[in-house]
Amino acid sequence: MKIALLQFDIAWENKSGNLMKVESLVSLCPGGTDLIILPEMFNTGFSMNPAELAEKSESETFSLMKALAEKSNAAICGSYIVEENGNYFNRWIFISPENEVHIYNKRHLFSPEGEDRLFARGAERAIFTYKDLRICPNICYDLRFPVWSRNRDDYDLLINSANWPAARHDVWSTLLKARAIENQCYVAGVNRTGTDGAGIEYSGGSVILGPKGEIIASGANDTEGIIYGEISPGELSDFRSKFPVLNDRDDFVISV
């Protein structure tokens, strides 16, 4: 599977401007790309203003993602603010060229910025299969909680769409590598660059990692661009067969 991570400076609460930038970046993705991954809240930045910025579940941003998936013949995914039944969600949405849709609502809301006071948290993990690859998405702060993303031999690729501040860049890169190694899986982490409306700086650091924690592809810090890499379900299966760590995993139940 060929993956493109779109690392860019998200204009603060400027939905139309960000959607235009996404459209432009998608048009630059190499031919044959299978999956395009966007950062967290890619159309607004990490804003705590959901009352003004939220969309219905299938509105403007969803429509653009759907059109881009069809035009590029690649699945596209990332999170933005969605209102549903009076609740606001930081919702990650996946749309394939065939209009296959999967959603994941962020479980671990970032309490230091008050996200937990404004948004409803997700109750369920989302795992689905695309092109013979089992995918588990999470969003930014979820990365700090390994139990939530623990591989029960039920996924092959962990995706994290983030707005992860530059001040904690080393934490970002360390946790992504840890999740890859402990879960014996591929990891794709995409982060933004620039400075948001709250004055928080972001350095990017988007990366695709292999199951040994090795870097398959990475982006330059503080630079917008497309990070492109290829992963192989067959090679992952072979590695797991030769070194079957997941067979010794602990069983557990996550309470909601």
Active site (catalytic) residues? 40, 106, 140
Q: Which CATH number fits domain 2-246: 3.40.50.2300, 3.60.110.10, 3.40.50.720, 3.10.20.30?
A: 3.60.110.10
Residue spans of the domains in the chain: they are 2-246
For residues 164-195, b (16+ Cβ closer than 10 Å) or e, as one string? Answer: bbbeebeebbebbbebbbbbbbbbbbbbbbbe
Answer whether residue 98 shows pLDDT above 80. Answer: yes
Q: What tens digit of pLDDT does each residue of 123-171 get?
A: 999 999 999 999 999 999 999 999 999 999 999 999 999 999 999 999 9
The pLDDT assigned to 57 comes to 87
Answer whether residue 236 shows pLDDT above 90. Answer: yes
pTM tops 0.85, yes or no: yes
Q: Which residues pair with 201 in a beta bridge?
A: 195
Q: What tens digit of pLDDT does each residue of 61-95 get?
A: 999 999 999 999 999 999 999 999 999 999 999 99
Answer whether residue 233 shows pLDDT above 90. Answer: yes
